[in-house]
Amino acid sequence: MEAIKQFELSKEYLESLQLGIEQGNVDFIRESLDGVNEADIAAILDELSLQESVYVLRLLENQLAADILIELDDVTLLKVLREIENSEIAAWIEMMDSDDGADILNLLSEKDREEVISDFQDKVKSEQVLELLRYEEDTAGGIMAKEFIRANKNWNVVQTINEIRRQAENVEKIYSIYVVDNRQQLMGRVSLKRIILAGADTKIEDIYDDEVISVPVHMDQEEVASVMRKYDLESVPVINAKNKLVGRITVDDILDVVQEEADEDIQAMSGISAQVDEYDSVYKLTKARLPWLMIGIIGGLLGAGFIGFFEAGLAKVTALAFFIPLITATGGNVGIQSSTLVVQSLANKSAFDDSLSRRFMKGLLVAIINGLVLASFVFGMVVLFYGNEVKFAMVISIALFCVVLLASFMGTFTPIVLDRFGINPALASGPFITTANDLIGLAVYFLVAMSLLSL
């Protein structure tokens, strides 16, 4: 027998499944999906029509249906939730881990949520899910689960194993067993490995590790991710203000957090205002993209007004217009480079940051070197190819040098200021700062040109 590897979804498989659904061939469908991983079944359902997906989900056991549900992509999931009865949702949520159940409830309208809650049969699970609803979605409380193994420090190994047996069905992956005192305060952790290797009557007290890293329930999920990364944790206990153990966060959820935050930053940088992807509707895509484009347009119109201000000079030296794109593009490129570096260093804070003034001096030095190299190059090229007089080449180079300096300054400080005000600093690499840089670049260019050329 061979180990089962990743499932490859073929068009033929999908078509045969659709035929089975059309014919209502229940046995065939169940057999086709037997042994297929829930994430793979979810990927199959994403490809089926809504009616077909719901039909398949209802054929499966509640546990499997619940496992599949949480793997569906958001668009399909929302459609499915709207299609099925609230009593079915309740039954499936009861099969989920509490954090996944809370996520599903958060997707429902208030009315549906109330109905689903009133349909719950399993009292423990419903209390756990309801507790999780109280926390902000982006905090430790919002991503933690209530399913974990807790051992009292006075227990021995046998008692702990009995607890594991009791919870075996609820807690799929154990990682660590958290050790608490009689007041449920977190004292430490003990690994399963240690439990296995210890004698049956060994007291937990004698084998647990009291150097456990925990996170407070209100910590931002991004910070939780950075703690787990720093300390290489596969799970982390969550405590409330009174040091009471209230939940556990596992690394698979953190993997999603890291990816989401990165995607968000990239979208912020590219001027897409909502979390969208290529598969969203034309309406949603347009709505996410238009606002920033509009800001760019308004910047462009302001720029046009600004250049218009120097119309007389421009009419005398038309060649000034030639270098407008060079100036604005370089300003933009320098600004984005600077802000990206700052954003990434903000994200990976070291214990002691370089002081602001040292960073500023270093940024200035890099900008001066880059500015000098680029300005000299442009000076040479303008003299060489455009046959203009040396003074004109000087104007372009000096303006370019000033723009590099200013854009670097803006690019460095905008994200720092945004971060201080609690705004995502990645926005500073986006269209807003690019637009501002364009305007500043134009201003510098024309002011330098007008004064040096005495126009």
Least gap, CB of 257 to a copy of itself (angstroms)? 10
> Considering the complex, what minimum distance in angstroms separates the CB of residue 189 from a copy of itself?
9
Among 263, 356, 390, 417, binds a copy of itself (CB under 8 A): 263
For residue 453, the minimal CB distance to a copy of itself (Å) is 16
| Residue 262 binds a copy of itself (CB under 8 A) | yes
Choices 16-24, 102-110, 128-136, 287-295; region in contact with a copy of itself by CB under 8 A: 287-295
Q: Which of 228, 403, 449, 450 binds a copy of itself (CB under 8 A)?
A: 228
- Sorted by sequence, the CB contacts under 8 Å of residue 255 that are 6+ apart come out as none
Task: Answer yes or no whether residue 192 interacts with a copy of itself by CB under 8 A.
Answer: yes
Q: Is position 98 an interface residue for a copy of itself (rule: CB under 8 A)?
A: no
Closer residue to a copy of itself, CB minimum distance, 197 or 423:
197
CB of 111 to a copy of itself, least distance (A): 32
Question: Residues 268-280, buried b or exposed e (16+ Cβ, 10 A)?
Answer: bbebbbeebeeeb
Report the nearest approach of a copy of itself to the CB of residue 25 (Å): 22
Compute the least distance from the CB of residue 301 to a copy of itself, in Å: 6
Question: Which tokens go with 360?
Answer: 């500023």
State how far the Cα of 330 lies from the Cα of 328, in Å rounded to an integer. Answer: 6
Size of the site for a copy of itself (CB under 8 A): 141
* Smallest separation, CB 113 to a copy of itself (Å): 25
Closest separation between CB of residue 254 and a copy of itself, Å?
A: 7
Q: Which is nearer to a copy of itself, 116 or 403 (CB)?
A: 403
What residues are paired with 209 via a beta bridge?
189
H-run or E-run covering 245: strand 245-250
Pick the binder of a copy of itself from 85, 121, 173, 274 (CB under 8 A). 173
The yes or no reply on residue 101 touching a copy of itself (CB under 8 A) is no
Q: What are residue 236's DSSP bridge partners?
A: 249
Segment 303 to 362, residues that bind a copy of itself, using CB under 8 A: 303-305, 307-308, 311, 314-315, 318-330, 332-334, 336-337, 339-345, 348, 350-352, 354, 359, 362
Examine residue 431 and tell whether it contacts a copy of itself (CB under 8 A).
yes
Q: Which residues contact 91 (CB under 8 A, 6 or more apart)?
A: 62, 119, 121
Length of the chain: 455
Identify which of 236, 257, 120 has the alpha carbon closest to the alpha carbon of residue 105: 120
Q: Which is nearer to a copy of itself, 101 or 271 (CB)?
A: 271
Cβ closest to a copy of itself, residue 57 vs residue 433: 433
Which of 19, 50, 213, 423 forms a contact with a copy of itself (CB under 8 A)?
213
Tokens standing for 163?
């607890």
Q: Which is closer to a copy of itself, CB of 70 or CB of 91?
A: 70
Which residue, 142 or 332, is less far from a copy of itself as judged by CB?
332
138-157 residues in contact with a copy of itself (CB under 8 A) are none
Q: Is 61 near a copy of itself (CB under 8 A)? A: no
Scan for tokens 């068009």, then name that residue.
11
Q: Which is nearer to a copy of itself, 10 or 111 (CB)?
A: 10
CA distance 320 to 244: 69
Least Cα distance to 44 among 18, 25, 80, 19 occurs for 18
Instruction: Using alpha carbons, select from 108, 109, 96, 31 the residue that is nearest to residue 68.
Output: 96
Using CB under 8 A, which of 293, 356, 390, 423 touches a copy of itself? 293
**What does R_g of the chain's alpha carbons equal in angstroms?**
30
Q: CB-wise, 62 or 345, nearer to a copy of itself?
A: 345
Binding residue for a copy of itself, selected from 214, 221, 397, 414, defined by CB under 8 A = 214
446 in contact with a copy of itself (CB under 8 A): no
Which lies closer to a copy of itself via its Cβ, residue 343 or residue 406?
Answer: 343
Between 35 and 111, CB nearer to a copy of itself: 35
Least Cβ distance, residue 135 to a copy of itself (angstroms): 19
Count helices and strands in the chain by DSSP H and E runs: 23, 6
DSSP conformation letters of 112-172 = HHHHHHHH---HHHHHHHHHHHTS-TTBHHHH-BS---EEETT-BHHHHHHHHHHHTTT-S
Residue with tokens 């209530």: 146
Question: Please, which residue, 47 or 112, has the CB nearer to a copy of itself?
Answer: 47
Tell which positions 13-52 bind a copy of itself, by CB under 8 A.
14, 35, 37, 39, 43-44, 46-47
